[in-house]
Amino acid sequence: MTIAKYLRNTSILFFAISTPVFAHTPPTQPSPVSTAQAQQLSEVLFENVRIFDGKSQKLSTAVNVLVRGNQIQEISSQPINVASHVKVIQGQQKVLMPGLIDAHWHAMLAALPPTLMMTAEVADINFIAAQEAKNTLMRGFTSVRDLGGPVFSLKRAIDKQMVDGPRIWPSGSIISQTGGHADFRMTYEVPSATNGGLSRGEALGGGIVADGVTEVLKRTREQLMLGASQIKLAAGGGVSSHYDPIDVAQYTEEEFRAAVNAAENWGTYVSVHAYTPKSIQTALKGGVKVIEHGQLLDEATAKLMAQKGAWLSSQAFIDNEFANPQVGENREKQKQVQAGTDKSFELAKKYKLKVAWGTDILFNPKMTKNQGALLTTMTRWYQPAEVLKMATSTNAELLALSGERSPYKGKFGVVETGAMADLLLVDGDPITDLKLLADPNKNLLVIMKDGVIYKNILNK
């Protein structure tokens, strides 16, 4: 065999082996030959439960809910006859509701202190994230929209049931301009290397620096190649980033348009980190569909968002016991953002914006346990039933914006026939007392994702 032929054959073999790992992960659908066949084709009957269906203002009367495989097969006020092998959970009129959805989560970075991100071995980072993924699921969050971080491997491990965790809609690296919100370089790394070398944050996949239309286009396409279900850009200053004051607007309309065009060619969309009117308006003019945060919204910007049908994916950023504490100049930026939160939700309601909810916990392992508690603080602006709807069916609508790039097919965020069996059984009425979700260890009796029971303490 000639050297040329050997190299050609070796290249073909390498491509065949590596392509399934790095190519876009196909949507997860029911499969009769999956490794979890026994569980996926099993049946579970929830008897005598009241339902929060993800949309209604009130609970249902007592009903019975049959799950077959990973979908809800039947909901009936009459007894459902099942075979003897079917697992029956006596609901005792507890509340069955959809699994919670966090629309702004960082699965790889939430529980990772910044010093570890910059110094730890990659294996350590993955082990920390895997543990936190299990904790996330045990808090009742069966789905998360990941808005930045090297999450693709973790997602694949969860989907293959190697690791317990929520469904993940990944963005991959946050795309940032030089000195922007996701420029994680140290000052001694500036000016950037002329040989194309990557900084530690870029090499890990936390954030990637791109300046100009050509670079933004390339970096967007790279994340889509890796399996991003939506694209995340930093459009303005950030609280936790060190180089950009809050008022700084980042990227031009043309740069946003480049990312949007690339995403739309893949059937998906661009979401941006932005607080201020200028950063939000520039992004909207560039075709961006989702604004993350928006705490410094003004009237004109809210009106423009309404006109364009843009989403506001926001968080309960207020100065309370659940605030992610900052220090020094970052603390001053944090207070500036917190001061605008009340007005932003007021404007969102006035202009009937489509509002999603997320936590955006970043670089703080002590705060992740408050994921459910952060949801309860939304009652400052919305009624409990509205908050529950936001964290279930409304957030599911946002997930659906990924279209064909969504890694999972099916109906999420609701309890109805044909919906995916992502379910929580709650000890109490969360519409009356939303704070039940702040203590998941005690109050979540059953946690089911994709038809598989991950927790059941009802009979203990």
Give yes or no for residue 40 having a pLDDT over 50: no
- The CATH code for residues 37-98+414-456 is 2.30.40.10
Q: What does the block give as tokens for 239? A: 């609280």
Q: Choose the CATH number for 100-381 among 3.20.20.140, 2.60.40.1080, 3.30.365.10, 3.40.190.80.
A: 3.20.20.140
Residues of the chain with CATH 2.30.40.10: 37-98+414-456
At residue 197 the predicted structure's pLDDT band, cuts being 50, 70 and 90, is confident
Calculate ∠ Cα 420-147-317, nearest 5°: 100
Q: For the segment 41-98, what is each residue's pLDDT rounded down to a tens digit? A: 589 999 999 999 999 999 999 999 999 999 999 999 999 999 999 999 999 999 999 9
- In the chain, the percentage of residues whose pLDDT exceeds 90 is 79
Residue intervals in the chain for CATH 3.20.20.140: 100-381
Give the mean pLDDT of 356-373: 95
In sequence order, which residues have a C-beta less than 8 Å from that of residue 193 and are 6 or more positions away?
none
Model confidence at 209: pLDDT above 90: yes
pLDDT, one tens digit per residue, over 141-183 is 999 999 999 999 999 999 999 999 999 999 999 999 999 998 8
For residue 32, what pLDDT is reported? Answer: 37
With CA atoms as reference, report the closest residue to 143 among 407, 385, 331.
407
Q: Are 417 and 405 in contact (CB under 8 A)?
A: no
- The band of 257, judged by pLDDT with boundaries at 50, 70 and 90, is very high
Band of residue 4 on the pLDDT scale cut at 50, 70, 90: very low
Q: Compute how many other C-beta atoms are within 10 angstroms of the C-beta atom of residue 417.
A: 14
Between 9 and 25, where is the model more confident?
Answer: 25
Interval 344-370 mean pLDDT: 96
For the ranges 1-5, 218-222, 270-274, the lowest mean pLDDT is seen at: 1-5
| pLDDT tens-digit readout, 283-326 | 999 999 999 999 999 999 999 999 999 999 999 999 999 988 88
